[in-house]
Amino acid sequence: MRSKSIPVLALMSAAVLLLVATGAFAQPTLTSQEQLGKNLFFDTKLSLNENQSCATCHAPESGWTGPDEAINVDGAVYEGSIPGAFGDRKPPSAAYGGDSPILYYDGTKWVGGMFWDGRATGWTLGDPLAEQAKGPFLNPKEQAIPDAAALVAKVQASEEYADLFAQQCPGTDTAELYNCIGRAIAAYERSSEVSPFTSKYDYWLKGMAKLTAQEHLGRALFQGKAKCSACHIIKGKQPLFTDFTYDNLGIPKNPLNPATIADPSWADPGLGGFLESLKKPEINYMAEWGKHKVPTLRNVDLRPSERFVKAYGHNGYFKSLEEIVHFYNTRDVPGAGWPVPEVAQNVNTAEMGDLGLSPREEAAIVAFMKTLSDGYVLP
């Protein structure tokens, strides 16, 4: 028995080493700051009623966005720590946002910032991602902690990571400790655990995987006839599939959005609303009315199961990649039957609406986007 078991164990060890080499079992090593960020990201105690963490709305199994299928199918807006408190938009992905620049106007368009409306500008910390990470904790429609001091007290009371917090965030100034919390979460979101570049597409770029004929067609259409890469740009060795700008796609109002149910006349102003809050001239903010940040398409199809429903668009109106691609293709085609846009101003008609794609071409684009899911295991 012993002489037979040795080669078996050797084969098993070789197999494990192969899986590690291909990334199937590989686990990234987090820095102390990233580990603190991870602890903070998954801690449900960091909410008013200790029932909600960042991961409640940004879960890894669904591409770091909403993991509750029933919510995605419905209004797509997640309830906060306080029962009945809802935001206005579906959760964007928490991954691959670390390269978004500080919000600026380049003379023709706004670029950078975080959140759908850009309000985490980076103007204070020099890092939009860190500013975004601070926001939900004190938002009454999200984690609803009353103030920064209460948040810091909760973190310092943690049995799991209080010592790590003290090490990474020394001092007693509440504002600085609050900033340190944001920076730690941003570090985790930038880490190779959250933004690992392990999709089939990434391996194809390295010559380690082969795309199917349908996926190749989808890639060509994505960069050509379908005009997807005009905003979801493919650039460099690790493309992020976004240009960090803002756009009004003419998405219809989601009738199941709690904000719409409360006020049927409400329409999401997006970036324009944020700029109005800054007291920008009307001519400036109205030019951005209804525009929302172009999201990354990485992990756009990542889900816990094949039939799991994700929501797409800033308001979650669409429930599948097939549906939103068909919308891009046919929004302006007479008789297509799409409802009117939520916001009629500033709708992008140059890069979408009547693309002339066939059903085969739409399916190919969807197939290509499915290659952007992390966790691909090499055959």
Judged against a pLDDT cut of 70, whether residue 257 lies above it is answered with: yes
Taken in order of first residue, the domains within the chain and their CATH numbers are 1-27 (no CATH), 32-58+94-99+123-190 (1.10.760.10), 200-260+293-372 (1.10.760.10)
Structure tokens at 327: 């919308």
Question: Which pLDDT score is estimated for 323?
Answer: 98
Q: What distance in Å separates the CA atoms of residue 45 and residue 223, rounded to the nearest whole number?
A: 44
Looking at 12-26, 57-71, 92-106, 201-215, which range is the least confident one? 12-26
Judged against a pLDDT cut of 70, whether residue 13 lies above it is answered with: no
98 vs 10 pLDDT, higher one: 98
Tell me the mean pLDDT in the region 35-45: 98
pTM over 0.85: yes
- Under the banding of pLDDT at 50, 70 and 90, the label for residue 27 is low
Question: Which pLDDT score is estimated for 313?
Answer: 98
- Under the banding of pLDDT at 50, 70 and 90, the label for residue 2 is very low
Whole-number percent of the chain with pLDDT over 70: 93
Other Cβ atoms less than 10 A from the Cβ of 224: the count is 10
Q: What distance in Å separates the CA atoms of residue 162 and residue 155, rounded to the nearest whole number?
A: 6
- Under the banding of pLDDT at 50, 70 and 90, the label for residue 181 is very high
- Under the banding of pLDDT at 50, 70 and 90, the label for residue 8 is very low
The structure tokens 């209804």 sit at 290
Whole-number percent of the chain with pLDDT over 90: 92
Q: What distance in Å separates the CA atoms of residue 128 and residue 112, rounded to the nearest whole number?
A: 8
Judged against a pLDDT cut of 80, whether residue 67 lies above it is answered with: yes
